[in-house]
Amino acid sequence: MSHEHLIFDVREGVAWITINRPATYNALDLQTAKELLDIANRCGSDKRIRAAVLTGAGTKAFCAGGDVASFAARQAELAVHLKEMTTYLHMAVSRFAWMDAPLIAAVNGVAAGAGLSVVAFCDLAVAADTATFTSAYTRLGFTPDGSSSYFLSRILGTRRAMELYMTNRVVTANEALDWGLVNRVVPATDLLAEAGKLAAQLADGPTRAHGGIKKLLLTAPTETLESQMERETRMIVETATSADGREGVRAFMEKRKPGFRGE
């Protein structure tokens, strides 16, 4: 699939994904959602990819959410349009969430609406000190999409998520760090370099173990203690008996750095 609105590049085990619609503040339209699903499928299938970074083009916006102009142009068929668009977007979120490779959000500017959802569904987030975060849905009379109500409520808790949705308050990068929405805040000029360092570190690690951690944390909120511990047992057996697990044990015994291959 050719990509009109996304830039996709794989370098040294890291997939770099850039939403490339700066004129619209990197807003998501139907074509962008389709391309995001295509890239999510590629990231989850290509064994070369052991980490991924998702960012926005330019310096003003990470992603301003849904492309409201495209909604206005399709008022007569908006229900069908939104159902189609969220089908692609939500499947992309699911593919990213369940793939082994960790996904890092490099938040370079405004993250609003579905852009806030994107930050929430990424596994880790590094933000420029100039980045801001807002829900914005209820400004249009809308409710959230893009997995926001699932991930954001787990990250922030119900009270803070409710406040963001209902008041549309703007959260600064440092507030987002304090709230746990992002893992790190760096100078804007250093954002991609810092995100790249983190991605390289993860890409050098045990990819299947990273994927196992992602899966365990996805199921933990809805499982009983006993069923989650059974999942833990199965996952540690799976990873410990993998090629990387065996390499990790050998390296520990030989007092050297392990050479993980993502297998």
Cβ–Cβ under 8 Å, residues 174 and 107: no
Cβ–Cβ under 8 Å, residues 76 and 94: no
**Same domain for 94 and 60:** yes
Domain total in the chain: 2
What is the model's pTM?
A: 0.95
Residue 36, domain CATH: 3.90.226.10
- Any domain includes 258: no
Give percent of the chain with pLDDT exceeding 70: 100
Q: Report pLDDT for 2.
A: 84
Q: Report pLDDT for 33.
A: 97
Q: Report pLDDT for 1.
A: 78
Give me the domain span that covers residue 92: 6-203
Q: Report pLDDT for 56.
A: 98
- Any domain includes 164: yes
Q: Last residue of a domain, which of 184, 203, 222?
A: 203
**Same domain for 138 and 189:** yes
Query: φ, ψ for residue 15 (rounded to 5)?
Result: -90, 125
The answer to whether residue 245 scores a pLDDT higher than 90 is yes
Average pLDDT in the 103-110 region?
A: 98
Annotated catalytic sites, by residue?
90, 145
- The predicted-structure confidence for 131-152, as pLDDT tens digits, reads as follows 999 999 999 999 999 999 999 9
The answer to whether residue 126 scores a pLDDT higher than 90 is yes
**Same domain for 227 and 124:** no
**Same domain for 120 and 77:** yes
- The predicted-structure confidence for 52-75, as pLDDT tens digits, reads as follows 999 999 999 999 999 999 999 998
The answer to whether residue 263 scores a pLDDT higher than 90 is yes
Average pLDDT in the 250-262 region?
A: 95
- Rg of the chain (C-alpha set): 19
State the DSSP code for 66.
B
* Residue whose token pair is 């360092």: 197
Residue 228, domain CATH: 1.10.12
- Any domain includes 189: yes
- Any domain includes 259: no
Residue type, 254: E
The answer to whether residue 207 scores a pLDDT higher than 90 is yes
**Same domain for 146 and 93:** yes
Average pLDDT in the 5-24 region?
A: 97
Q: Report pLDDT for 98.
A: 97
**Same domain for 94 and 110:** yes
**Same domain for 247 and 193:** no
- Any domain includes 150: yes
- Any domain includes 263: no
**Same domain for 109 and 86:** yes
- Any domain includes 141: yes
**Same domain for 83 and 175:** yes
**Longest Cα–Cα distance in the chain:** 67
Helix axes 243-253, 225-240, angle to 10 degrees: 70
**Same domain for 152 and 49:** yes
- Does an H or E element contain 131, and which? none
**Same domain for 197 and 244:** no
Q: Report pLDDT for 133.
A: 98
**Same domain for 191 and 91:** yes
The burial class, CB within 10 Å (0-12 / 13-18 / 19+), for 55 is: buried
Average pLDDT in the 116-121 region?
A: 98
- Any domain includes 247: yes
Q: Report pLDDT for 156.
A: 96
Query: How far, rounded to the nearest angstrom, does the alpha carbon of residue 66 sit from its chain's CA centroid?
Result: 16
